[in-house]
Amino acid sequence: IDTYWSDHCRHTTFATSIDQVSIDSNGLGRPIQEAYATYLKDRGFVYGAEERDVCLMDIAVLGMKKLRKEGKLPDLDLSDEINACSIVVEADIDGKKEDWLVMFKNETHNHPTEIEPFGGAATCLGGAIRDPLSGRAYVYQAMRVTGSGDPRVNISETLPGKLPQRKITTTAAAGFSSYGNQIGLATGQVAEVYDDGFIAKRMEVGAVIGAAPKSNVVRETPAPGDVVILLGGRTGRDGCGGATGSSVEHTEESIFTCGSEVQKGNPPTERKIQRLFRNPQASRLIKRCNDFGAGGVSVAIGELTDGLVIQLDAVPKKYEGLDGTELAISESQERMAVVIARDKADFFKELAAAENLEAVEVAEVTSDRRLKMLWRGNTIVDLARDFLDTNGVKQHTEVSVQNPDAENNYFTNKTARLSSDLKEAWLHNLHDLNVCSQRGLVERFDSSIGAGTVLMPFGGKYQATPAVGMAAKLPLESGDTTTGTLMAYGYNAQMAKWSPFHGALYAVIEAVSKIVAMGGNYQTIRLSLQEYFEKLGADRSKWGKPFAALLGAYQAQMKLGIPAIGGKDSMSGTFMDLNVPPTLVAFAVDPIDVRKVISPEFKKTDSQVVYIPLVRYANELPDFDRLGAAYRRITELIHAGQILAAYPVGGGGIAEAISKMAFGNRIGFSLADQGLTPGELNTLLFAPNYGSLVVEMPLDMDIERALASVPYRILGKTQAQEAIEIGGITISLQEAQDAWETPLEKVFPTKTDEIELARPQAITYNRRGPARSKLTVVRPRVFIPVFPGTNCEYDTKKRFEAAGAETDVFVIQNLTPAAIEESIQVMAAKIRESQIIMLPGGFSAGDEPEGSGKFIAAVFRNPRIRDEVMELLKNRDGLMLGICNGFQALIKLGLVPYGEIRDIDESQPT
């Protein structure tokens, strides 16, 4: 019950009934009061006479409900499966229209990452992937947004009961990237927010996006007699108590007592589930699916339908000795529960076995509305569904929203603290921890696996302009598409601490502005929100923070006409007397024709650089009508090729945007005379005017005509000189870039010490003329073996087929000795029928034991396979290729450089 009803699983904090609301409506608090009044009015429209509690969850979802009732959400994909946001997208596949489901989800692993950074961050990504995967979508891109204290502080300043911030952030980056690199998922954007509040508890957010043809997804109501199949990894004690542990605040003892609550990830196993669910034969058999995350069997299977009998003895175990409770609540990773009609269960298990996956029947659907669990012949759980659905005793609270402090206004305070020396202010701005380069962090992640990435993390000839979001094509097994997706996030901790309402409202606007800057249409954006707040307890003013934040996000949704169709909340960001900053991270997703995507670096010299401001009222809220008109016009101009580059203004103002746009191609900028006083110029250049954009337009563009309907200011022109010139002051791009790249260099290094190496021996190739094959086949057959840990077989297959080859992909099975023997026989036969062997890359057997490609090499040294390979290469004029792990295997086998498989001796390089 504690697990099933935990705050993590049932969102009890967000579902708490709010009985009384007090909002200080003076000054900057007035828009909060007005937003609350709008929310109450909209509740009446959505619910009519129906009685519904006012609660945080209702504020979070009402925007979606209202727009849907108004008929403004035609693309929303509704179902009883609610593990991920899902929209219907009309995709262009080889020139033909086809309906696809695009699913996206954000997930936090704050608690486990604080305790065990590598495992916590790794399973953050693994858990996020499983949500769209349970909807049968193939996840093809990820985004990572994290919150940390300053990682540069001396280790001696670490609080008792805490790991050093540097240790947490570097190890968490290694964990998240390790999981993504192993499963073969492109991480399109990586960003870390720095604020001392995150010393209380780290923020570790993973957001993923997946897609599948709509025809591959079948959703039906489970019927009595259907079976529940547990698929994937085995169950151990790891993660026991994770759901309840993540729902409480940390103490000085947490780091010593909560280690067992951190789950252990296994990316190669989750990759196998991805392959299985991508097979339409398998996906169309699934009536309903739920992933194993928090709560284990009790939640993953317990939520599938009303009546269930679960046989805990049937659950595959990592080791013996687990009792019934451990089997029920273990959060061991890479598991999936699927409901299958009984007469189709055997076929589904055969399909799973072909992907080297264990699949076991562990439960049956019954007509009795009860959840029963049996262990060793005894019924250890027997609960009425009506009782479970109560989610425990309803909680009640009151809310008090404090007025934002006008004297410490976030929008005006930053420029007031700047140096009067413009060059010094410019370089100091770039040196700010939340403005500076994060290249060393970003480059730990693979951004291109899957061959669908449209925007690389850094753009330009010098790969130095950071992308403002991520873009990728839909994932196809064959053929090509021009349909893709954009994803961006928005969040500023400093603004949120000043005013949770404004912080959340501008988080939405920031995410939207990034989508627009990449070429997206703000009107088709769909949002997902991530909330993360301190432990609220019974404190009215603490409750006021998430209340105000959600109202801010609601206001932005209603004014822009774009809803949040999902999200995730985490409500335990407290350590002793420290609290995380009020956090609402907005994630924006937009389908797009990828031919219309633009990157943010300056493209040409002598271009016009134009500032398109967001107009704010005295209460610091935007003029949404003018903002919408500006975004619509910018999208039109981008699609017409009349805007060459665009960058959204963030916490570092116009100065940050121009600097970053200049770095990528080393194209300088000269500021035109703005007719401003020094103070006014500082405000123009450095104010954090979120929602505004800096755009590059051709020199011959009639700006007045192109932007007649929107406010704008011509800032100046790009120039060939690699410098930024402002009113007689010159800052070289190298000097600016050095200031920008220095702050985190010692934490996430981008450079290594130079070492002198001996000159290698010259290797010459003397053969003249091209080699000619003896083969006369029109379409050579390519054998592509998939080993445990292989992750680029889809890319490989697609490229060979595009070149005219016929491919034969075979999954090596190694769960039992008999399966290995059978795989050896099948491989030998397939090599005999092929003209080319291609070894794709990945992390074969997790790069174990002690090195890459050793498992592949061991298989190819089997006498039967060795003989067939040498017959192909020596007598049939065949070819053998390898990439990544595959190439390492070629070296270990001796095929490179000797052209034959050799036994290992002391002369082998590895």
Do the Cβ atoms of 206 and 106 come closer than 8 Å?
yes
Within 483-582, strands assigned E span: 483-490, 526-532, 564-570, 574-575, 578-579
What crossing angle do the helices spanning 267-278 and 117-134 adopt, rounded to 10°? 10
Measured torsion, CA atoms of residues 147, 150, 156, 158, in degrees rounded to the nearest 10: -20
Do the Cβ atoms of 635 and 520 come closer than 8 Å?
yes
For residues 318 and 329, give the distance between their C-alpha atoms in angstroms, rounded to a whole number.
15
Q: What are phi and psi of 163, to 5 degrees?
A: -80, 155
For residues 560 and 516, give the distance between their C-alpha atoms in angstroms, rounded to a whole number.
13
Dihedral sign, CA of 518, 522, 526, 528? Answer: positive
Do the Cβ atoms of 187 and 144 come closer than 8 Å?
yes
Do the Cβ atoms of 290 and 337 come closer than 8 Å?
yes
Residues across the chain:
910
Give residue for tokens 């009984």.
Answer: 342
569 DSSP β-pair partners: 531
Q: What are phi and psi of 519, to 5 degrees?
A: 110, 5
Which pTM does this prediction carry?
0.95
Alpha helices in 692-768 (DSSP H): 703-706, 733-741
Encode pLDDT of 84-121 as tens digits: 999 999 999 999 999 999 999 999 988 889 999 999 99
For residues 261 and 68, give the distance between their C-alpha atoms in angstroms, rounded to a whole number.
39
Measured torsion, CA atoms of residues 72, 77, 81, 85, in degrees rounded to the nearest 10: -70
Distant-in-sequence, close-in-space partners of 671: CB < 8 Å, separation ≥ 6: 715, 716, 724, 725, 726, 727
Name the token pair of 816.
Answer: 């039992």
For residues 283 and 368, give the distance between their C-alpha atoms in angstroms, rounded to a whole number.
27
For residues 580 and 8, give the distance between their C-alpha atoms in angstroms, rounded to a whole number.
17
DSSP symbol at 311 = E
For residues 518 and 276, give the distance between their C-alpha atoms in angstroms, rounded to a whole number.
34
Q: What residue ranges of the chain have pLDDT lower than 50? A: none
Residue 704, number of CB atoms within 10 A of its CB = 9
- Gyration radius of the chain over CA positions: 28
Name the token pair of 752.
Answer: 């290594």
User: C-alpha 205: how far from its chain's center?
Assistant: 8
Check whether the bond before 711 is cis (ω within 30° of 0): no
Name the nearest CA neighbour of 562 among 526, 607, 510, 594: 526
Concatenate the DSSP letters of all residues of 770-797 into one string: ----S---SS-EEEEEE-TTB--HHHHH
Task: Give the three-class secondary structure for 438.
Answer: coil
DSSP symbol at 536 = -
Name the token pair of 480.
Answer: 């090509």
Name the nearest CA neighbour of 493 among 261, 658, 651, 328: 651
Burial-class residue 187 by CB neighbours within 10 Å (0-12, 13-18, 19+): buried
Name the token pair of 865.
Answer: 């396979």
Residue ranges covered by each domain of the chain: 781-898
Name the token pair of 826.
Answer: 């099948």
Give residue for tokens 């269960």.
Answer: 345
pLDDT at 909: 65
Distant-in-sequence, close-in-space partners of 536: CB < 8 Å, separation ≥ 6: 13, 397, 542, 543, 546, 571
Check whether the bond before 897 is cis (ω within 30° of 0): yes
Amino acid at 540: R
- Element of type H or E holding 427: helix 422-431
pLDDT at 807: 97
Name the token pair of 542.
Answer: 């603490």
pLDDT at 128: 94
Distant-in-sequence, close-in-space partners of 93: CB < 8 Å, separation ≥ 6: 476, 479, 480, 481, 483
291 DSSP β-pair partners: 336
- Element of type H or E holding 177: helix 165-183
For residues 304 and 289, give the distance between their C-alpha atoms in angstroms, rounded to a whole number.
7
100 DSSP β-pair partners: 89, 213
Give residue for tokens 């052209």.
Answer: 899
**Strand order in 308-311's β-sheet?**
288-291, 335-340, 227-232, 359-365, 308-311, 370-375, 378-384
781-898: CATH class: alpha beta
For residues 116 and 222, give the distance between their C-alpha atoms in angstroms, rounded to a whole number.
38
For residues 355 and 308, give the distance between their C-alpha atoms in angstroms, rounded to a whole number.
28
Amino acid at 378: N
Do the Cβ atoms of 501 and 552 come closer than 8 Å?
yes
User: C-alpha 146: how far from its chain's center?
Assistant: 11
pLDDT at 386: 86
Angle at 711 between CA 708 and CA 716, to 5 degrees: 95
DSSP symbol at 394 = P
Name the token pair of 335.
Answer: 């598991």
Name the token pair of 673.
Answer: 């005379």
Do the Cβ atoms of 795 and 813 come closer than 8 Å?
no
For residues 373 and 4, give the distance between their C-alpha atoms in angstroms, rounded to a whole number.
14
Name the nearest CA neighbour of 272 among 198, 333, 353, 387: 353
DSSP symbol at 455 = S
